[in-house]
Chain A
Amino acid sequence: DTAVSQTPKYLVTQMGNDKSIKCEQNLGHDTMYWYKQDSKKFLKIMFSYNNKELIINETVPNRFSPKSPDKAHLNLHINSLELGDSAVYFCASSLLREGRETQYFGPGTRLLVL
């Protein structure tokens, strides 16, 4: 019954590694997002996909690469992890085509880079 789910919930890894975070929504939404929340709880959008097409791409290092295999999934791959990548990453979704701006958030993935 989970609307927006993310895996894994926790991710602890070494600097320099490559890791992926997965997101799935079962709400029938057409738009998905990735946000990063830092240790001060500052939440900033990273990417957004609408119908598998990238529509928002903020100033994010190109080590971060989102991939949307279909409308229900948006994954985030991070290459060469750095200490500063430690944060909580949230996936969200919304139904843009019907003008429903409310976003539904997943539970977050807590990434710790050592």
Chain B
Amino acid sequence: SQQGEEDPQALSIQEGENATMNCSYKTSINNLQWYRQNSGRGLVHLILIRSNEREKHSGRLRVTLDTSKKSSSLLITASRAADTASYFCATDAWGGGNKLTFGTGTQLKVEL
């Protein structure tokens, strides 16, 4: 069954605003990853957070992980039109052989 649920399903903001996406999952994980998918393209890795980490930063991205609540959030600060894409969380369970289980995705639209 589908591992992760993301919300919101769709998010529309103005350029310069922050965008927050949430991901919930069901089982214990080794790590959680966020990927971006531009329309008609493949997925691009953004950031990985391990189960023993609570927060991680990469440029304008901030990811948090709460293993007690089995949830993660991705914050994109000072969004740009080029951030328009679908964002997916993916979990890697312990002993899963790097088998990623993807969430349902959040479609982000950043308007000028």
A41-52: CB near B (< 8 Å → 1, else 0) gives 111110010100
In the complex, are the beta carbons of A102 and B43 less than 8 A apart?
Answer: no
Give Cα distance in the complex from A25 to B90, angstroms: 21
In the complex, are the beta carbons of B97 and A107 less than 8 A apart?
Answer: no
- The secondary-structure label for the interface of chain B is strand
Query: For B105, what are the chain A residues with a Cβ–Cβ distance below 8 Å?
Result: 41, 43
Interface size on B, residues (CB 8 A): 24
* Most chain B CB atoms below 10 A, which of A31, A44, A103: A103
In the complex, are the beta carbons of A106 and B45 less than 8 A apart?
Answer: no
Give Cα distance in the complex from A55 to B98, angstroms: 10
Interface size on A, residues (CB 8 A): 23
4 additional A-B pairs beyond A103-B43, A105-B43, beta carbons within 8 Å, are A4-B42, A90-B42, A103-B33, A105-B44
Decide if A75 is an interface residue (CB 8 Å cutoff).
no
Q: Chain A's nearest CB lies how many Å from the CB of B98?
A: 5
In the complex, are the beta carbons of B98 and A103 less than 8 A apart?
Answer: yes
Give Cα distance in the complex from A50 to B97, angstroms: 9
A2-24: CB near B (< 8 Å → 1, else 0) gives 00100000000000000000000
In the complex, are the beta carbons of A42 and B2 less than 8 A apart?
Answer: yes
